[in-house]
């Protein structure tokens, strides 16, 4: 006859994947709200999705912003009703074993920049997923890398 401990462990093993599936869905919903608020230039809803110590890393090497710095950059744009629209094409979400952090990468489409990649980390705070780091990049096809690197080097002081 199985022990109570064995039955509880078996039950936890059956429930854990369901909890992780819910967390992945919740993380995906946060990222969807993040992109949706940016597209609609919704300042408060957008920045409410970050942790207090969150960081946004943009496509330019100089763009590493704390939440306060990113707010200062975004506010004039959002106040004019100009946000930025990135449409998700593909997304992958992984969870830390303890369920406290989620890691993601996503391919996004943007009218000006074309195919982009977002990567980052979300942290669960008081039961809510918040963006601790978001990093937006423009993937460079390997066939173009040499040319792009030469252009970047030529543009640097």
Residue 87 CA to residue 67 CA, distance in Å, equals 22
Q: Structure tokens of 104?
A: 């993601």
In this prediction, residue 18 has a pLDDT band, given cuts at 50, 70 and 90, of very low
Name residue, tokens 């930025």.
84
Estimate the share of the chain in helix, then strand, then coil, as percent rounded to the nearest 5.
Answer: 45, 35, 25
Q: Structure tokens of 112?
A: 């000006």
Q: Is the pLDDT of residue 10 over 70?
A: no
pLDDT at 7: 62
Q: Which residues of 116-142 are buried (b: 16+ CB within 10 A; e: fewer)?
A: bbbebbbbbeeeebbbbbbbbeeeeee
pLDDT at 156: 87
pLDDT at 58: 96
Give the tens place of pLDDT for each residue, 132-151: 999 999 999 999 999 999 99
pLDDT at 11: 53
pLDDT at 53: 98
Between CA 103 and CA 115, with CA 109 as vertex, the angle to 5 degrees is 85
- Torsion, Cα 66 71 77 80, to 10 degrees, reads 170
Q: Report the percent of the chain where pLDDT is more than 90.
A: 84
Q: What is the pTM of this model?
A: 0.84
């Amino acid at each position: 006859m199985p022990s109570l401990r064995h039955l509880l462990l078996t039950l936890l093993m059956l429930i854990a994947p369901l909890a992780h599936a819910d967390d992945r869905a919740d993380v995906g919903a946060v990222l969807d709200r993040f992109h949706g608020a940016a597209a609609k230039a919704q300042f408060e809803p957008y920045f409410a999705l970050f942790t207090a110590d969150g960081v946004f890393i943009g496509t330019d090497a100089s763009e590493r912003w704390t939440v306060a710095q990113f707010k200062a950059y975004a506010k004039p744009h959002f106040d004019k009703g100009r946000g930025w629209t990135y449409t998700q094409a593909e997304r992958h979400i992984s969870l830390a074993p303890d369920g406290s952090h989620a890691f993601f990468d996503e391919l996004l489409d943007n009218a000006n920049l074309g195919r982009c990649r977002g990567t980052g980390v979300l942290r669960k705070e008081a039961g809510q997923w918040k963006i601790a780091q978001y990093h937006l990049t423009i993937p460079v096809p390997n066939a173009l890398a040499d040319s792009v690197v030469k252009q970047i080097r030529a543009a640097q002081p």
